[in-house]
Structure 1
Amino acid sequence: MTAYFKLTALAAAGIAAGLMASSALAADYTLNVNTALATSDPLYKGLEAFQDNVAKASDGKLEVRLFPNSQLGPDEDVLEQARAGAPVAVVVDGGRLAVFENEFGVLGAPFLASGYDGIRKVVMSDQFNGWAKKLHDNSGLQVLSFNWWQGERHLLTEKEVTVPADLKGIRMRTPGAPVWTETIAAMGATPTPLPWGEVYSALSSNVIDGAEAQLPAVVGAKLDEVIKVVTKTGHINLITGLITSAGWFDSLPPDLQTVLTDEAVKAGDIASYGTQDALAGIEKQLISEGVEVNEIDVTPFKEATAGVYDKLGYGELRGQLQAIAAGQ
């Protein structure tokens, strides 16, 4: 054997030994978490806390891997992977879950609650837990926690907006779930569903005229480069959940199931309060970059969207959930 081949053989043996060692140290279970958000988003800090705390609480038996910027695909595709039993999770809104269990859609309905604390009461309630059980039993999806608050969503446009009539003819990007499209239509714009990753290019090429999103997502996607005005309507209070495969979750030892759900709630609070604390700074950043950020009287928008609840069958739920959010 030549010296070259001896070295090659030794190198191969070393690599094999390294792989065996890393395998021996590998976690018993791995969960891959997908999110459309950028790593700069305050909510992502909560995901990093979830990753670290799950590893500690499980004594290394359970590893969480994070995939920002939708690296595993659109949310809908990851949900289907989860339903098929894959060890994946996704940070997703209630509107996308409404196709499986209709009640989840009301969480994205217009002007349901203000800020994080009120909507947190809703998603930690017995009523919500009943929806989560149905999602698990009927659709193969497990809610780890649903207290991941991304902020209130506002209008992102080229021109100033003060009343719903100003949105006439505006092609506005929004997620494709009915609760979102009906809300945007009721506000006066033409809802145009697109994946979040396509919004920047669609705005810059005039495929759409505007969008609506929470402030951290605006800067995370660099939309300040392609919009001129943020109108603070707060029309949707974006609460999201960390959703995984019910089949995979049920296959875990009970102690690891508890680790996942407990740490998901804790991390959701870290993410949500971090988002809350970051909003004022993000708004200042947008203004410094030349974006107008306008406060308006949202009463006309509340009036215009009031019928969305009844149209989607959420009329009764609206009062119940608003009472829970108010602590009644």
Structure 2
Amino acid sequence: MKLSAFIKTALTAAAIGVIGLSAAAEEWKLGHVLPPDHPSSRALEKAAAEIAARTDGRIDIKVFPAGQLGGAKEVLTGMTIGTHQMAFDGAGILSQWTKELGVLEAPYLAKDFAHLERLVASDAGQALLDKLRADHGLRVLDIWYYGTRHMTNNAHAIETPADVAGLKLRVPEVKLSLEFIKSLGGRPTPMAFSELYLGMQTGVVDGQENPLPTINAAKFYEVQKHLALTGHLVQFVAPIVSESVWQAASEGDRQIVSDVLQSVGDAYNASVVESEAALVATLEGKGMQVSHPDRAAFSKAVQPIFAQFEDVWGKGAYDALAAID
């Protein structure tokens, strides 16, 4: 009788434990605008699965690619009001919350991703991320290599800055991106990424600028003739979490999330570097005509626009970062 009572009590306690564990489970919605088969989206799915396994389901990250939860601005806005928990985006969009972050996307500032990592890890870079978190409750968990941006178009090959003149090029809704294209004589056209393929197919825009993995994954080679390796922007994209959601998780679970995102991110970064080296030939094989512009000439052409951003970025902010090797 006593043994039966003990077993019954134990089973009841176990059931309560399971209920408690279930109640503690958190679903974090992560929205982004990239295609489901983009390398970063696949890496996020892998990280989410590993995090769920290592936290015994306490943190269940659901990844929603291709703008399923809205555009980049909508997802980040949703994080600030509590409808979404995570995002995956870069400094350009984040600069609409913390304007000083825009300096990290100054054309030709970073030489490569390793250099960009050093810029972000510097005191100046960390101060920018701290401000984003303090002012808007958006915590950057890691930085991943989105790629180095290049131009494509349907009009003609781009060899010099003068070749950009008159081209209607889609850019993100970011002032620096707009001014960059203007400085080269182009006609910048903000457009949602999800609308870009059709926009190029129908001639609403002549072209766009994005990293090679994105150009390939989004199949832009189907609607674009010319690829110019301008290499004008080395860009990161970051897994971002709402600070309130982050603080609600246990310290142990937060460490698991950080560790997994870093390990998966490191592998993803290496894969992007490797794929970029091969993608030029891949895109040529898919019919794109590739040019190799003089990047020094492009860098020189864009320098004058930085002065107009000094009040936005902070006096001396660009020069401080540019001085970091």
Counterpart of 1:39 in structure 2 is 36
Counterpart of 1:305 in structure 2 is 302
Counterpart of 1:137 in structure 2 is 134
Deviations 1:59-98 (A, max 9, x none): 3311111112121110100000000123421111111111
Structure 2: distance between partners of 1:283 and 1:48? 26
Report whether the alignment pairs 1:321 with 2:321.
yes
Conserved 8 A contact 2:48-2:60 = yes
Counterpart of 1:128 in structure 2 is 125
Counterpart of 1:76 in structure 2 is 73
CA gap 1:194/1:23 in 2 versus in 1, 3 angstroms: farther
Residue 27 of structure 1 and its aligned partner are, at CA, apart by 6.8
Q: Which residue identity lines up with residue 156 of structure 1 in the other structure?
A: T
Residue 246 of structure 1 and its aligned partner are, at CA, apart by 1.7
- Choose 56-65 or 165-174, whichever is displaced more: 56-65
Conserved 8 A contact 2:101-2:128 = yes
Q: Which residue identity lines up with residue 249 of structure 1 in the other structure?
A: W
Report whether the alignment pairs 1:152 with 2:141.
no
Report whether the alignment pairs 1:211 with 2:208.
yes
CA gap 1:267/1:321 in 2 versus in 1, 3 angstroms: farther
CA gap 1:223/1:34 in 2 versus in 1, 3 angstroms: same
Counterpart of 1:285 in structure 2 is 282
Deviations 1:238-286 (A, max 9, x none): 1121122122222222222232233323332222211111112322221
Residue 203 of structure 1 and its aligned partner are, at CA, apart by 0.8
Residue 187 of structure 1 and its aligned partner are, at CA, apart by 2.3
Local SS of the residue matching 1:306:
helix
Report whether the alignment pairs 1:227 with 2:259.
no
Residue 24 of structure 1 and its aligned partner are, at CA, apart by 7.5
Structure 1: distance between partners of 2:261 and 2:321? 23
Conserved 8 A contact 1:136-1:142 = yes
- Choose 266-275 or 214-223, whichever is displaced more: 266-275
Local SS of the residue matching 1:312:
helix
Q: Which residue identity lines up with residue 132 of structure 1 in the other structure?
A: L
Deviations 1:38-73 (A, max 9, x none): 233222332133213322332331111111212111
Local SS of the residue matching 1:290:
coil
Please list every run of 5 or more consecutive structure 2 residues that lacks an aligned counterpart in the other structure. Answer: 1-17
Structure 1: distance between partners of 2:322 and 2:292? 24
The CA RMSD over aligned residues, in Å, is 2.1
Deviations 1:93-117 (A, max 9, x none): 1111112212211111100112211
Structure 2: distance between partners of 1:49 and 1:114? 29
Conserved 8 A contact 1:27-1:60 = no
Residue 195 of structure 1: which of 192, 195, 210 is its match? Answer: 192
Q: TM-score, normalised by structure 1?
A: 0.86
Structure 2: distance between partners of 1:234 and 1:23? 52
Query: Where does 1:16-35 land on structure 2 (aligned, <5 Å)?
Result: 28-35=25-32
Instruction: Calculate percent identity across the aligned residue pairs.
Output: 27
Local SS of the residue matching 1:128:
helix
Local SS of the residue matching 1:73:
coil
Q: TM-score, normalised by structure 2?
A: 0.87
